[in-house]
Chain A
């Protein structure tokens, strides 16, 4: 099962490598990973998407918690949550293609953030599924370069992950 685990950790050098190292060391799988400091600069927030059964996820959360640099973590997929990913894509767009691409961007509520005579750079945010659908709609042959941020997430409602 796909899980989104959100981790608050000390913003210390080496902290990220401990998290990543744990995953490779124990054979856990990382689908996506995002990390940045929070409003409290001593803390970083890391979000990762991983796949595993309940037993594996339990081991992952336990072992993450064991890392000295990890302050708190939550499995966002245990409750209702919001997840977003940012996609930037360079798309071939010349002649009739330009309108076609523009229409797709509008449908997916994306934005064209850079333009040349042959190309658009498009930004889309949403769930991973939505971004997949957008890329599919564009079609393989129009896509020149894709970059995705990986998933960021936050729980719905009043629940807060903080120290």
Chain B
């Protein structure tokens, strides 16, 4: 058997796991590993400018491909800088394997230079973690880490590696395990047939059904089957922020997003539904509004791979633990066999009602924002980009108003195209995530929708884009304030704008982009918007920073009334309420 050092073993194990890309940042405790990376060819390492960027880039890579993202950082600050990205991945169930260097085993616990208890720090935000005690454990640990990260409900796994374990002079026999047996971990597989049958019967008996589909449909590769089910039954579908693209946005059965900034028709249909088919969704507080007032007349079917998600906040009438794909496949099979159909006249009536809601306040039936002012409206920027990119771009976003505008107005027809930090709400996510997506999809258009606030949280990654020649578009909806914070302050704090404005301190993003070697563009005139955007998107081989000055006073609507509101209680504009 081949003898390898711990550092070489780690890299070899990654190769054996099929890894071809690592995002990372070197440092003292990780140097043996970095040397092993230098001496091989098959894995490409992308040097980011901050470890947070590494985790978000790996996250974007993972979300857009379905393969686990791999991160390598050093101990201490390298590890703690990765924490935000790990938490982001954890909240959105993204498979990451994060390898952190650690001080040598004999120094652990002595407050050594760049020592931090990474296993302890990351414990609440990982699916699992390992502290490697000996080089011989490396192949088994790596195998387990990838299996855990990418199975069941996916999530980040940390492997903390003390420097002495990777010592180049200590060599051990290397063999990558072919099989894995973990008695303590058996992710859910197929759903219970009896429960699925019960769910189908309930679904078919519905007169006012809504399919409420979340990120699990995207992550669990269930989009096609869900689409087939919804089209077969002719039932309306709403997606969560994480689920966008899990059902085609251009299908007329799509009601738009639901929740805090969901569409009027989606939230109202949910409120009046008699059966809700929740799949790969977790009844997040940004979806349900006040749980006690959530969908009073609805029976709830809840499908999820994670049993702990079921009946956590909203009690399910028919719970099904299983993978989205297998449950949908079983359901479609049963539906085909039985040949049963829902009550067509009830469904026709339901659609008539929904279409009426759409007509009244739907954001897709008419512009629900000002179109007569001179200022560029953020909504029309997203609509224009949707048109220019043919609705087929990968869109990453940061967090805030721009994120909601992108979610509302860029209608996704395919899964894995919409990449945003939905659970943790991490500003700074968008740009590094876009770089990760671009590396995985070099021939596709990748747009990072951001704001002048969020972009400055990971702006250093503009330099990574230069080094690796990653021509993404950065679309900055610049409203010269922390827009979402400002919106809340205007709505709930009588307009006291506590620390949500920059007082003339914003950088010139055009010159900043140019300083990094990119193209910078500023768009201020409304009449020039479409042409300028077209010009920006015609540039294929350069990173383009498009700084669009939008109406700074615009709010995101609809917005659910809080606290104590139900799904259907919404602000539709600054003055109009349901």
Contacts and interface: CB of A to CB of B under 8 A. Distances in A.
A and B co-occur in one complex: yes
B325 to A, nearest CB: 21
Contact of A9 (B127, B184, B311, B312): B184
Contact of B184 (A10, A25, A58): A10
Nearest to B321: A62
B329 interface: no
Contacts of A13: 131
Looking at chain A's contact residues, the main secondary structure is helix
A68 B311 CA distance: 21
B308 A70 contact: no
Contacts of A10: 184
Given A21-B124, A62-B307, A68-B182, 20 more contacts: A9-B184, A13-B131, A14-B119, A14-B123, A14-B129, A17-B120, A17-B123, A21-B123, A55-B311, A58-B311, A59-B312, A63-B308, A65-B307, A68-B128, A68-B148, A68-B185, A69-B184, A70-B184, A71-B183, A71-B184
A11 B161 CA distance: 20
B124 A66 contact: no
Contacts of B119: 14
A25 B120 CA distance: 13
Contacts of B413: none
Interface residues of B, number: 18
A18 B123 contact: yes
Interface in A62-84: 62-63, 65-66, 68-71
A163 interface: yes
A96 B182 CA distance: 61
B306 interface: yes
Contacts of B182: 68
Contacts of B312: 59
A11 to B, nearest CB: 11
A66 B152 CA distance: 10
A98 B123 CA distance: 51
Nearest to B133: A13
Interface in A11-25: 13-14, 17-18, 21, 25
Interface of B: 119-120, 123-124, 127-129, 131, 148, 182-185, 306-308, 311-312
Nearest to A13: B131
Given A17-B120, A68-B127, A62 B184 contact: no
B489 to A, nearest CB: 29
Contacts of A71: 183-184
B222 to A, nearest CB: 21
A9 B311 CA distance: 25
Contact of A62 (B123, B148, B183, B308): B308
A9 to B, nearest CB: 7
A163 B124 contact: no
Interface string A23-35: 0010000000000
Contact of A66 (B129, B183, B306, B311): B306
Nearest to A42: B183
B202 to A, nearest CB: 22
Nearest to A63: B308
Contacts of A59: 308, 312
A68 B144 CA distance: 11
Contacts of A66: 306-308
Contacts of A63: 308
Question: 4 closest pairs, A vs B, by CB?
Answer: A62-B308, A68-B128, A71-B184, A25-B124
A139 B312 CA distance: 44
28 contacts: A10-B184, A13-B131, A14-B123, A14-B129, A14-B131, A17-B120, A21-B124, A25-B124, A55-B311, A59-B308, A59-B312, A62-B307, A62-B308, A63-B308, A65-B307, A65-B308, A66-B306, A66-B307, A66-B308, A68-B127, A68-B148, A68-B182, A68-B184, A68-B185, A69-B184, A70-B184, A71-B184, A163-B183
